[in-house]
């Protein structure tokens, strides 16, 4: 039996769909999401991205050859240069200054998700780490593609969240998503059924923590 990334998705189908098709992203794509819910999510996502930068740095540290090193470094650059850079500018447009960002309280959902991924990376190997990171990178790329195919999605000036939608359909982000899937496909091809079961647990846990992150935005909870 040879595995690939899609087998992880299939093994967690219910959780994966609940994440990709969550009410938060549906409302965002329709342009009906309450602006305070979005602002709350944006602030927590800043903290999330800082910790995910650390997680990609850990993946870089755990790399054992130049190919792995380059791949993890590309992930780190996507988070820091593409997403986090745009995020700070975007927060400013939504009335959140860098000073506000510097003194944010961290929501429990942010703590749980980011520390789970860092702990998985510390305990496990590079494959554990990348499987824990996959719902983040692959998930948002897939969410973007799924939303673009839905009749309720409003694009352009009529949607206040147009920039968010545009970021995740950008070639920089979609290319990073494809590279991550290709990397995972290559590694998963040679794992045993026992190892695949362990990786499925990590993928499911990280996906459930993504669902909790959307819900935190909707509920504006800390």
Ligand X SMILES: Cc1ncc(CN)c(N)n1
Least distance in angstroms from the C-beta of 173 to ligand X:
8
Residue 81 is classified by DSSP as I
User: What is the rounded distance in angstroms from the CA atom of residue 86 to the CA atom of residue 82?
Assistant: 6
Q: Which residue, 177 or 188, has its beta carbon nearer to ligand X?
A: 177
- The piece of 18-26, 64-72, 135-143, 148-156 that touches ligand X (CB under 6 A) is 135-143
**Active-site residue, 136 included:** yes
User: What is the rounded distance in angstroms from the CA atom of residue 57 to the CA atom of residue 53?
Assistant: 6
User: What is the rounded distance in angstroms from the CA atom of residue 206 to the CA atom of residue 136?
Assistant: 8
Q: What is the largest CA-CA distance in the chain?
A: 52
* DSSP calls for 141-183: HHHHHHHHTSTT---STT-TTHHHHHHHHSHHHHHHHHHHHHH
Q: Which residue, 29 or 136, has its beta carbon nearer to ligand X?
A: 136
Q: What are the C-alpha distances in Å from 199 to residues 10, 36, 51, 127, 177?
A: 13, 36, 21, 8, 19
Single out the residue of 136, 176, 206, 211 in contact with ligand X (rule: CB under 6 A).
Answer: 136
* Per-residue mark of binding to ligand X, 24-63 (x: CB under 6 A): ---------------------x--xx--------------
Least distance in angstroms from the C-beta of 140 to ligand X:
4
Does 140 help bind ligand X (rule: CB under 6 A)?
Answer: yes
Q: Which residue, 3 or 55, has its beta carbon nearer to ligand X?
A: 55
Rg from Cα positions in the chain: 17
**Active-site residue, 210 included:** yes
Q: How many residues bind ligand X (CB under 6 A)?
A: 9
Nearest by Cα to 213 from 91, 110, 104, 138: 110
Active-site pick, 136, 162, 169, 171: 136
Q: Which residue, 3 or 140, has its beta carbon nearer to ligand X?
A: 140
Least distance in angstroms from the C-beta of 193 to ligand X:
29
Least distance in angstroms from the C-beta of 141 to ligand X:
8
CA angle 38, 40, 42 (to 5 degrees): 65
Under 8 Å between Cβ of 218 and 37 = yes
Q: Which residue, 27 or 45, has its beta carbon nearer to ligand X?
A: 45
Active-site residue list: 136, 210
Q: Which residues contact ligand X (rule: CB under 6 A)?
A: 45, 48-49, 83, 136-137, 140, 210, 213
């Amino acid at each position: 039996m040879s595995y690939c990334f899609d087998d992880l998705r299939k093994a967690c189908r219910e959780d994966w769909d609940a994440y990709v098709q969550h009410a938060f992203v549906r409302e965002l794509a329709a342009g009906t999401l309450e602006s305070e819910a979005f602002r709350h999510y944006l602030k927590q996502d800043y903290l999330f991205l800082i910790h995910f930068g650390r997680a990609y740095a850990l993946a870089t540290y755990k790399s054992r050859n130049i190919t792995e090193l380059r791949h993890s470094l590309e992930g780190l650059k996507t988070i820091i240069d593409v997403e986090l850079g745009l995020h700070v500018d975007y927060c400013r447009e939504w009335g959140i200054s860098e000073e506000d960002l510097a003194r944010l309280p961290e929501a429990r959902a942010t703590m749980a998700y980011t520390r789970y991924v860092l702990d998985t990376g510390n305990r496990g190997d590079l494959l554990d780490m990348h499987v824990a990171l996959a719902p983040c990178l692959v998930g948002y790329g897939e969410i973007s593609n799924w939303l673009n195919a839905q009749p309720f999605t409003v694009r352009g000036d009529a949607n206040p969240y147009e920039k968010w939608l545009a970021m995740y359909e950008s070639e920089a982000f979609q290319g990073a998503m494809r590279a991550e899937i290709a990397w995972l496909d290559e590694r998963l091809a040679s794992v045993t059924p026992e190892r695949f079961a362990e990786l499925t647990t990590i993928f499911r846990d990280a996906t459930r923590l993504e669902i909790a992150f959307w819900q935190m935005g909707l509920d504006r909870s800390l």
